[in-house]
A = this chain, B = another copy of it.
Amino acid sequence: MPDHTPGLHLIVDLFGASHLDDMTTLDSALRGAAAAAGATVLADHLHHFGEGHGVTGVLVLAESHISIHTWPETGYAAVDIFLCGRSDAHKAADHLRAVLRPERVVITEIARGQG
């Protein structure tokens, strides 16, 4: 069993959020979140499911990953911020909140790998 915590995983649910069908804003928001946290982007992939539909975006990081899946029709976005090492997951969450301006946010913290 590991004697350390590999990482902090924030499960972030955004309700009443904006820009959820806007690839450019979402890409910028994810990269800004990684930068705010002090994380290093290894790869990214965004996919738009078509006009009026949602976007899936994933940043693969040296410190794990940040992902977003959006439902613009309801204003809901499911965000995961899983960061290891010294990067600060809450700063990434703060950045996404500032850009996507949800009416309500629910954040659940999970310490991964504690056993």
Contact = CB atoms under 8 A, between A and B. Distances in A.
Most B CB contacts (10 A, CB to CB) among A2, A13, A58, A67 go to: A58
B108 A2 contact: no
A60 B47 contact: yes
B6 A78 contact: yes
Copy number in the complex reads 2
Chain A interface bracket (under 10, 10 to 19, 20 to 34, 35 or more): 20 to 34
Interface string A54-90: 0010101110110101010010101010101000000
B74 A82 contact: no
A62 B69 CA distance: 10
Contacts of A112: 11, 13, 78
